[in-house]
Amino acid sequence: MNQVLTSRSALEMSATHSKDALASHQTVRTPDPDAHPSRLRADGVSVFYGDKQALFDVSIDIPEKSVSALIGPSGCGKSTFLRCINRMNDTIEGCKVTGDITLDGQNLYDGNLDVVELRARIGMVFQKPNPFPKSIFENVAYGPKIHGLARNKTDLEEIVVTSLQKAGLFEEVKDRLHSPGTGLSGGQQQRLCIARAMAVGPEVILMDEPCSALDPIATAIIEELIDELRSNYTIVIVTHSMQQAARVSQKTAFFHLGKLIEEGPTEAIFTNPREKRTQDYITGRIG
């Protein structure tokens, strides 16, 4: 009882606090001297669903070849921000994005940019494993086929096999590449989706709570995979689990009520948060 009261008052406090801060909102930033250079940058990104503003003036640099985690309570805008990066919000009616997101200096919201090309460079893995109702092979071959990445059948097979290997799934499915992808277990399906995303040859992989529908063992396998992948890919992961963020990421950004509250090296955020709301969240008092 006591605990419930505390957490509610903490939430209310932070809510009123953020209302005061609405006019001049400042993200607390802890620089990381060891961070990789950033090619992906967001600058003053706001998102509106109709009249409702879901994201307020978010600016962040995503270092390449490392894992950045976006954390925060439900409805804080972390998934919305993630979906801005490959313009998946375009598919939602009435969604408007302002501000700049740049990849290698090119604005992703530039009118000239081809969204198809963009999504080939920035892949995405979703919350619920969503293999197409096709064979395992066809699932992975889907992207290369639509982008014309393979000149012939051998090429295509090579891409499929390499992608499955990178996703750590090949050994488990090599004998049944042509059976339906929906017949795999949840964790295998999610790795299939990761393989599918990698088959297009992206530079950035966005992951929207990739383990929330999985059991702890499958989760551990995926986390290990993410750790391996970061030597070649820039990964942005949204997660509900603070342990997961602490385990897999090098940079962490804390979102609350549509604002980026604090960002910095994962270790600093978790051991020494400078914002009170960040501290409340990682100690379990809001969220």
Partner 1 sequence: MNSLMIAAILLVLLGLAYQVGWSRSRALATSGGGRFHSRFHYHGALVAIWAVAPAALILGLWALFGQTVSASYVQSLLPVELVSAGGNPLATAISRVRALASGYGVAGEVADYEAAAADALARFQLIVTLIVVGSAAACGILALLFARRRITPRLRARNQVERAITLLLVACSAIAILTTVGIVASLVSEAIRFFTFVNPLDFFFGTVWNPVFSSTGGGSGRYGLLPLLWGTTMIAIIAMLVALPIGLMTAIYLNQYAPRGVRAVVKPIVEILAGIPTIVYGFFALTTVGPFLSGFGAMIGLDIRGTSALTAGLVMGIMIIPFISSLSDDILSQVPTSLRDGSYGLGATQSETIRRVLLPAALPGIVGAFLLAVSRAIGETMIVVLAAGNSPVLRANPLEPTSTVTVSIVNQLTGDTDFTGPQSLVAFALGLTLFVITLCLNVVALYIVRRFREQYD
Residues in contact with partner 1 by the rule CB under 8 A = 86, 88, 91, 93, 115-120, 123-124, 126, 128, 130-134, 142-143, 146-147, 193, 196-197, 200
For residue 190, the minimal CB distance to partner 1 (Å) is 12
For residue 280, the minimal CB distance to partner 1 (Å) is 32
CA distance 176 to 127: 25
CA distance 248 to 266: 9
User: In 3D, which of 106, 113, 105, 81 has the Cα closest to residue 95?
Assistant: 81
By C-beta, is 60 or 200 nearer to partner 1? 200
Please, is 47 exposed, middle or buried when counting C-beta atoms within 10 Å of its C-beta (0-12, 13-18, 19+)?
Answer: buried
For residue 8, the minimal CB distance to partner 1 (Å) is 33
By C-beta, is 22 or 146 nearer to partner 1? 146
By C-beta, is 107 or 130 nearer to partner 1? 130
The full 3-state SS of 129-197, as one line of letters, equals CCCCCCEHHHHHHHHHHHHCCCCCHHHHHHHHHHHHHHCCCHHHHHHHCCCEHHHCCHHHHHHHHHHHH
For residue 269, the minimal CB distance to partner 1 (Å) is 28
Token duo for residue 100: 């700049």
By C-beta, is 90 or 100 nearer to partner 1? 90
CA distance 283 to 287: 10
For residue 203, the minimal CB distance to partner 1 (Å) is 13
By C-beta, is 129 or 264 nearer to partner 1? 129
CB 46 within 8 A of CB 57: yes
By C-beta, is 93 or 110 nearer to partner 1? 93
For residue 117, the minimal CB distance to partner 1 (Å) is 7
